[in-house]
């Protein structure tokens, strides 16, 4: 197979952008040195930021009127490739151009763009994104920092009222940022108008903290130590009225508040929705880190030999063992699936937030984008954490050595499950959106439609309890349509059941928290089922668009492995609800085993399809590839393994 054709398919719409990044930065060995001190690592990343800005790539997400290219999707595609190198650089760049720059562009107006956007793009103005507080991370709507308007001076007074309102974990705040986009409760004429963003200088040109601003360092972390996370406290810091990023809410000189969106909650979520790029970028970065870990583990497993074949007497390549294939190949298939779902997200985001002629400003599509982004970020970052750990284990003791990159990948991606939205909270948001849509669709039915809906519900209960469902549809486990039907049925069944469980909360005087809390596990399961289905759909659409016959045939098997692995992971649910028998779930497992065998010869091709520049995976673990034909070149006993274990068998 032509690996270039596979890589082009994987790269998708922004293949040229990804190739440019490979050419521009692929020879830079942007790998974190675990022996660096925190300050040395921060300085190295700051220098890499200068190099990154010099490529002009970060400019391209911004408004062409200010020197950008308006290619929002292309910039995120390029950005996520930084995860092949130093993830600290990815996060630092995300803060500067994605979060700070994104807030400036999306929430500001011409007065902010004209004054700050060019310097933000070039990196001359270093910024940070001060949203999270010590006491409020996920519950952004109830942040406690205040921005009170003073009519006499036409200034906002930014105040941290208590320790819980301290801005915490703010990337860039500890060392480099000169300005912060501070999210605070806007107060004018004695009334609070909800959370808004303000541009607040935090350092002067010499790097000293501005009057009234207290800056402290979060210190060394489990990973990402090239990012200067800090804490900010504001002691009645005054900024001019124009510091308010006023696209969705403004204050006149006399203190009168106005907004194009009257409802405070809707206004808040509209503002946050414009910043969805950060969440999509985190999902993409996690995906790239996962691809890198799999590339290292599969290439190592392709040459590492362990235990002799009793017939030939030769040691067996570990990737030939089913247990090893099971550890890596379903994870590889899911990584492919999430990558194509990410490509779909980028296209949707570009359509809604870009600057080209195809841009569409649709509130309903924006809400769908936010829901997808939340779900894929949650599932994708959890997958990254689990898969990188599996890759570490698959490489034995060698995988535990810092020089072989996997420990740093594990440490650097661990926080991805909780920043840009805690995953559990994000899945709750997904489920709540699904419930709202479900309620609207049922409510829109006429009398006859509601009667049919009720009959259908009764029929579902009977089918589940009697086992009749198994007689109604018993498909071929290797049929894509049947696989997709199982996932869609699970999603619809869970959603309908969740709606029934939560309906009592609508009654007057109901214990809404108690009812919701009792169903929280159901809520999360419903959201996960929804994400599983849309990921399979995105992968299916990508496969169907593939024109190269060999690439398509290979990706069809990868898709099948991912889908069946998803079904297998929740096989208890399918048995409990009458969709599969215990015998059929055993058949799912045996089919996955066969698929692993079918894909084993293509494992190296599949990781090469990610197109990771060789300097970004260069490590001693892969030195054995050069001598793969000679099993005696492998260290003995096993890499990092005790002699007594390596000798077993």
The whole-angstrom separation of Cα 563 and Cα 601 is 20
How, if at all, do strands 305-308 and 315-317 pair? antiparallel
Distance CA 438, CA 195 (A): 29
The domain spans of the chain are 128-274
Which two three-digit tokens encode residue 391?
Answer: 């890759």
Residues 6+ apart with CB under 8 A from 318: 301, 304, 305, 306, 324, 394
Q: What pLDDT was estimated at residue 395? A: 95
Torsion angle of the four alpha carbons 483, 486, 489, 495, in this order, in degrees rounded to the nearest 10: -100
What pLDDT sits at residue 463?
A: 53
Q: What is the mean pLDDT of residues 285-312?
A: 88
Tokens of 147: 């921005």
Name the burial class of residue 591, with classes exposed (0-12), middle (13-18) and buried (19+) by CB atoms within 10 angstroms of its CB: middle
Lowest mean pLDDT among 380-384, 458-462, 613-617, 636-640: 636-640
Q: What is the DSSP string of 237-277?
A: EEEEGGGB--SS-EE-TTS-EE-S---HHHHHHHHHHTTHH
Which pTM was predicted? 0.90
Cα angle 492-536-281, degrees, rounded to a multiple of 5: 110
Alpha carbons 40 and 116: distance in angstroms, whole number: 29
Does residue 609 sit in helix, strand or coil?
Answer: coil
Instruction: Tell me the C-alpha distance between 470 and 486, whole Å.
Output: 12
**Distance (Å, whole) CA 385 – CA 601:** 26
Q: Which two tokens stand for residue 192?
A: 């609070």
Considering the domain delimited by 128-274, tell me its CATH architecture. Beta Barrel (2.40)
Cβ atoms 544, 553 nearer than 8 A: no
Mean pLDDT of 120-141: 92
The confidence score (pLDDT) of residue 23 equals: 84
- If one compares 61 and 30, the residue with the highest pLDDT of the two is 61
Cα(103)–Cα(579) distance, rounded to whole angstroms?
47
Average pLDDT over residues 541-549: 95
What distance in Å separates the CA atoms of residue 423 and residue 375, rounded to the nearest whole number?
Answer: 8
Percent residues over pLDDT 90 in the chain? 70
Evaluated on CA atoms 256, 260, 264, 268, the torsion sign reads: negative
Report the C-alpha gap between 186 and 190 in whole angstroms: 10
Residue 558 in contact with residue 606, Cβ under 8 Å? Answer: yes
Choose among 229, 276, 257: nearest CA to 41.
229
pLDDT mean across residues, the chain: 89
- pLDDT single digits (tens) 8-19: 999 999 999 999
pLDDT in tens, 180-238: 999 999 999 999 999 999 999 999 999 999 999 999 999 999 999 999 999 999 999 99
Strands 257-258 and 146-150: unpaired
- CA distance linking residue 376 with residue 544, whole number of Å: 21
What is the rounded CA–CA span in Å between residue 562 and residue 551? 16
633 pLDDT more than 50:
no
Residues 377-421: tens digit of each pLDDT: 999 999 999 999 999 999 999 999 999 999 999 999 999 999 888
CA pair distance 44, 31, nearest whole angstrom: 10
Residue 455: Cβ within 10 Å count: 10
């Amino acid at each position: 197979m032509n690996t270039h054709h596979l890589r082009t398919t994987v790269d998708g719409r922004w293949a040229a952008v990804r190739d440019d990044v490979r050419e521009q930065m692929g020879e830079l060995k942007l790998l974190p040195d675990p022996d660096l001190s925190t300050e040395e690592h921060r300085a190295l990343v700051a220098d890499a930021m200068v190099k990154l800005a010099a490529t002009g790539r970060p400019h391209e997400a911004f408004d062409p009127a200010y020197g950008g290219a308006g290619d929002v999707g292309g910039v995120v595609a390029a950005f996520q490739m930084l995860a092949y190198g130093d993830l600290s650089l990815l996060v630092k760049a995300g803060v500067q151009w994605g979060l700070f720059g994104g807030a400036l562009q999306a929430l500001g107006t011409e007065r902010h763009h004209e004054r700050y956007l060019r310097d933000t793009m070039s990196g001359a103005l270093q910024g940070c994104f001060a949203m999270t507080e010590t006491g409020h991370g996920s519950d952004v709507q109830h942040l406690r920092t205040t921005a009170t308007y003073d009519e006499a001076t036409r200034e906002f007074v930014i105040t941290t009222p208590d320790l819980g309102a301290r801005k915490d974990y703010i990337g860039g705040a500890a060392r480099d940022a000169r300005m912060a986009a501070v999210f605070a409760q806007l107060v004018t004429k004695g009334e609070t108008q909800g959370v808004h963003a303000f541009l607040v200088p935090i350092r002067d040109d010499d790097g000293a903290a501005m009057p009234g601003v207290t800056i402290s360092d979060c210190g060394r972390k489990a990973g990402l130590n090239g990012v200067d996370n800090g804490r900010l406290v504001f002691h009645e810091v005054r900024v001019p009225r124009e510091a308010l990023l006023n696209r969705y809410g403004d204050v006149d000189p006399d203190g009168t508040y106005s907004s194009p969106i009257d409802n405070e909650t809707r206004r808040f979520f509209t503002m946050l929705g414009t910043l969805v790029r950060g969440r999509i970028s985190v999902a993409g970065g996690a995906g790239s880190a996962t691809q890198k870990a799999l590339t290292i583990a599969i290439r190592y497993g392709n040459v590492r030999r362990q235990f002799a074949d009793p017939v030939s007497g030769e040691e067996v390549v570990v990737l030939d063992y089913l247990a090893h294939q099971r550890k890596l190949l379903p994870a590889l298939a899911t990584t492919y699936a999430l990558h194509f779902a990410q490509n779909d997200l980028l296209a949707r985001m570009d359509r809604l937030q870009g600057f080209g002629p195809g841009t569409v400003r649709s509130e309903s599509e924006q809400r769908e984008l936010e829901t997808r982004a939340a779900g894929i970020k949650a599932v994708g970052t959890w997958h990254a954490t689990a898969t990188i750990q599996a890759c570490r284990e698959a490489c034995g003791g060698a995988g535990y050595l810092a020089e072989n990159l996997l420990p740093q990948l594990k440490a650097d991606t661990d926080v991805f499950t909780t920043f840009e939205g805690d995953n559990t909270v994000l899945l709750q948001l997904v489920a709540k959106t699904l419930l709202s849509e479900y309620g609207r669709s049922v409510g829109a039915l006429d009398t006859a439609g509601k009667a049919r809906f009720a009959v259908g519900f009764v029929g579902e209960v009977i089918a589940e309890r009697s086992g009749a469902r198994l007689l109604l549809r018993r498909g071929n486990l290797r049929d894509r349509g049947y696989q997709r039907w199982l996932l869609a049925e699970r999603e619809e069944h869970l959603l309908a059941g969740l709606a029934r469980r939560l309906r009592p909360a609508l009654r007057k005087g109901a214990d809404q928290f108690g009812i919701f809390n009792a169903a929280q596990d159901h809520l999360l399961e419903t959201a996960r089922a929804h994400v599983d289905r849309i990921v399979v759909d995105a992968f299916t659409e990508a496969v169907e668009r593939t024109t190269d016959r060999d690439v398509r045939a290979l990706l069809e098997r990868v898709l099948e492995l991912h889908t069946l692995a998803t079904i297998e992971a929740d096989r208890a649910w399918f048995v409990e609800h009458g969709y599969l028998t215990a015998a059929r779930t055993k058949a799912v497992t045996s089919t996955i085993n066969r698929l692993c065998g079918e894909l084993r010869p293509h494992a190296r091709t599949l990781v090469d399809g990610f197109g990771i520049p060789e300097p970004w995976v260069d490590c001693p673990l892969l030195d054995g590839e050069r001598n793969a034909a000679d099993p005696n070149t492998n260290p003995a006993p096993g890499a990092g393994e005790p002699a007594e274990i390596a000798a077993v068998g």
